[in-house]
C-alpha cells in the first residue's frame, strides 16, 4: 500500500502552475474547435451558393440551416476536442482534485521509459513498480524537458496523488 502525506506550500504552487498550463491548453483546443465549426459551417454554404439555388442549398446536407448538419458537426467537434485532450495528456481535472485533497505520494523506482511530449513542454516517465496491481505507471513532469534522466536509472519521485504530476524527482 502506498503511503501518502500532505503537500508543502511550494508543491501546491507547482501544481497551480501546472493547472494554469493545462487550462491554457484546453482553451486552445476549444478555440480550435470553434474555428473549425465556423469554417465547416460557412465555407460549404458559400461554394454551394455559387452553383445551386437557395432552395437546393437549404435541402443539402451541407447547409448550415439543416439540423442534422449541426448535430453531426457538434458531435465531431466535441470528439475532436476530447481526442486532443487525451493525446496531449491534459491533467486538468486530476490536478484540481490534487489541489483539493493536497496529498502527495513518494516512490523509489527504476525508470522504464522517458519521452518528451506536448511540444516538448512536458516530460513523461514510465516506471515499473514491483508488487503493484498496475505495475507500469505514467508520471508527468510539467515544467519542460528533462534530458538528464534516462531509462534504467533509479529515481525517487514525489508526485500529486491523483494527477501523478511530478513535484520533485531525484536520482538515487
Ordered per-residue pLDDT tens for the chain, 172 residues? 466 788 888 888 888 988 888 888 888 888 888 888 788 777 777 777 777 777 776 667 666 677 777 888 888 888 888 887 776 666 788 888 888 888 998 888 888 888 887 666 778 888 887 766 667 788 888 787 777 888 888 899 999 888 888 888 888 8
Whether residues 87 and 25 fall in one domain? yes
Instruction: Say if residue 116 is in the same domain as residue 143.
Output: yes
Contact 114, 150 (CB under 8 A): yes
Of 93, 118, 145, the position where a domain reaches its end is 93
Question: What is the extent of the structural domain holding 130?
Answer: 105-171
Domain boundary, last residue among 63, 93, 123: 93
Evaluated on CA atoms 116, 124, 146, 122, the torsion sign reads positive
Length of the chain counted residue by residue:
172
Cα(first)–Cα(last) distance of the chain, in Å? 22
Total count of domains within the chain: 2
Q: Domain check: are 28 and 78 in the same one?
A: yes
Same domain, yes or no, for 109 and 89? Answer: no
Beta bridge partners of 110: 154
Amino acid at each position: 500500500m502506498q503511503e501518502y502525506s500532505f503537500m508543502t506550500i511550494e508543491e501546491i504552487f507547482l501544481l497551480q502552475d501546472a493547472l494554469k498550463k493545462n487550462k491554457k491548453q484546453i482553451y486552445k483546443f476549444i478555440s480550435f474547435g470553434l474555428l473549425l465549426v465556423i469554417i465547416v459551417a460557412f465555407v460549404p454554404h458559400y461554394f454551394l451558393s455559387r452553383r445551386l439555388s437557395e432552395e437546393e442549398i437549404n435541402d443539402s446536407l451541407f447547409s448550415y440551416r439543416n439540423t442534422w448538419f449541426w448535430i453531426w458537426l457538434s458531435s465531431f467537434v466535441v470528439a475532436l476536442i476530447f481526442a486532443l485532450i487525451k493525446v496531449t495528456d491534459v491533467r486538468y481535472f486530476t490536478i484540481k482534485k490534487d489541489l483539493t485533497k493536497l496529498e502527495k505520494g513518494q516512490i523509489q523506482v527504476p525508470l522504464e521509459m522517458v519521452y518528451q511530449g506536448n511540444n516538448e513542454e512536458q516530460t513523461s516517465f514510465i516506471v515499473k513498480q514491483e508488487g503493484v496491481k498496475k505495475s507500469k505507471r505514467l508520471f508527468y513532469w510539467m515544467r519542460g524537458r528533462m534530458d538528464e534522466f534516462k531509462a534504467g536509472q533509479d529515481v525517487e519521485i514525489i508526485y500529486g496523488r491523483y494527477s501523478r504530476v511530478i513535484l520533485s524527482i531525484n536520482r538515487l
